[in-house]
Each structure stands twice: as structure tokens, then as C-alpha cells.
Amino acid sequence: MTMTNGLARGLVALGLLALSSAVVSAQEAPGPADSPWRLVWADEFDGDSIDPERWNLEQDCWGGGNAERQCYTAFEENARIEDGKLVIEARLGEARGPALPAHLRAGASAEERQATTAQPFTSARLNTRDKGDWRYGRIEVRAQLPEGQGSWPAIWMLPTDEVYGGWAASGEIDILEAVNLGEPCRECRGDVENRVFGTLHYGGEWPENTYQNRETTLPPSENGEQDFHVFAVEWSEGRIEWFLDGESYGYLTQRRWRSSSEAARGRPFAPFDQRFHLILNLAVGGHLAEGRNVGGVRVEAFPQQFIVDWVRVYDCPQDLETAQACVN
């Protein structure tokens, strides 16, 4: 798909990067009021910079496998702490970097590892791999989402160990995705894009994969811009449920998912029975965003900011093995 007319004129040259110390005690940080959940990992973004003990900053220009149009960088202009919040900012400006992400470069040929590519935007993608990895629990993120054609903020989880094979045989849990918020939308309330999604990806390795999702709509904003909302998922053995501001808007059980891997035989809850890590990112364009609403990427909408107030992860102290005691 092509970008909005005039993109070339706007490009600017840029150069192109298990629970650990983030664990907190139950006495210091209990779970939500009247809740069986116990807080075990959190980032309130109260420091001066992004905490390297909690987060990895990914660096590549791959496009996420979705023909996205950003390079992910470690630049402060793309990811930083401001006023006690994490700011992920997507900006117009050409950059060049690795053509593959780190996890794919590891098994690639020498030529593929050295290959680079350019993209017309920069942004940031943070993950907690090997710094915060969980099997089951409640994950909450309070965030303000960006608007504009081509914006694609996401809060999601990937398997740390890929026990059942490459994507999506080992699964993917999307806590929150939204594209093109604020743009015209015939099927949306008020004729304005206001939908958010929670999704599971599973099945075989691409392209033998599939997905299912649940969706809801954001309430009208009070001041003309997106409000902060709490996006959450409760993940227990055999069940995943999504929440917006504390209200459930759908769930899926093991009867609705599967893994085609030989390693999943005899494991009825696969692939969502392994440890996953958390990802926060703001993509630009890509198949999902560019194929909806008015189409393409509206360059004039950028820069855009995905602002995260806090991230909190809870376990179920009554039932650490399955977390079912905290959801039944």
C-alpha cells in the first residue's frame, strides 16, 4: 500500500539499538481492592529514565512482519520518561537499521544478519523478556492511546521459550490493540473509530496460524482527546478474559484455541500454558491500520504519542499453578 501523498517531502535523515529486581512483596503492594490477586511486578515510571532492569528496547526496521513503516530505536525522542509516565513517540523521519529483529537474526545466515533496510518513521518497542516473564496472572496497563490514520498502539505478550514452535504455534496474547482512533468509521458509534481489541493468535507456524478476538468501544472522551484507560487481561489455566476499566468485555477458553505442534500432544491448554513476556509498542501503518478507515497513513497526524502511566502484574497466591482460584 502507498503512503499519503507528500511523504517523500517530509522525510528527515536520522541515524540508528523471570521476575527479577522488579518483584515486589505482597505486604508492600497488595492486589486490587477486594481482589484475590497479589502484585508481583510493576513499573510506575517514577524514575528519570526507562529502567533497564525491567525493559529491553528493541532496535530494528523489520516492520513487524505486517509491512509496518517504522524503525524501532533506542532514541530518547522515541521512548522516554516524562512526568512519571512512559512516552512512546512515533515520528516522521527516515531511519535505517537491521532488516530482521534480534530473535530472527539469531538463526539467520550471515548475509541476513547483516542486512539493513530503511523506513520513513521511527518509534519504540519495549519488552520484558527475561526480566518479567509469567505463566498466568492478571496484567494491567493504564495508558492513553494516540489518534490518527496509521497509528497502531499495542499492549501484548509473546512466549519467551517458544516451546511449540515459531509464531504463532507458541501463541500470542494481545491485551490491547487499536488502529486509527478518531478517524471516520461508518460502523462505529458516532461514526468515529473508537474500537479496541483483545486477541489470541495460535495454531501452526505462519502461515498455518489463525486467531480469535473480542472487541469493545472506548467511551466518549471528556476533553476532545483520548482519556487514560486501564486495559487488562486475566489469564488462568484454560481461560483468558479481557477488561476495559475493570469491566469484562469477553473471554476465550481452551475449547476455542489449539496448537498444531507435536510438542502440544497431551497438553490441552497449549499454547497458553507457558511463560510469556510483555511488549509495549507504537507501530505506524501496516496491514491492519492501512486497510481500515480512510486507508494508508496520514503523515500530518504525526508525531503521535502512546503514553503509559503504569504497568502492574499480579499472581494468584491461592493457586500459583493455575490461577483458577482467582477467576472462579
Active site residues: 172, 177
24 grid coordinates: 515486589
Separation between Cα atoms, residue 272 and residue 274, nearest integer Å: 6
172 grid coordinates: 500470542
| Strand-strand pairing, 116-123 and 70-72 | parallel
At residue 185, φ and ψ (nearest 5 deg) are -155, 110
Helix (H, G, I), strand (E, B) or coil at 236: strand
Strand partners, 23: 41
What is the distance of C-alpha 96 from the center of its chain?
23
Separation between Cα atoms, residue 7 and residue 4, nearest integer Å: 6
Tell me if 126 sits within 8 A of 52, measured CB to CB: no
CA distances from 120 to 101, 294, 315 (A): 17, 20, 41
For every residue of 246-315, DSSP letters joined together read TEEEEEEEGGG--B--GGGTT-TTTTTTS-EEEEEEEEEB-HHHHTSTT-S--GGG-SEEEEEEEEEEEE
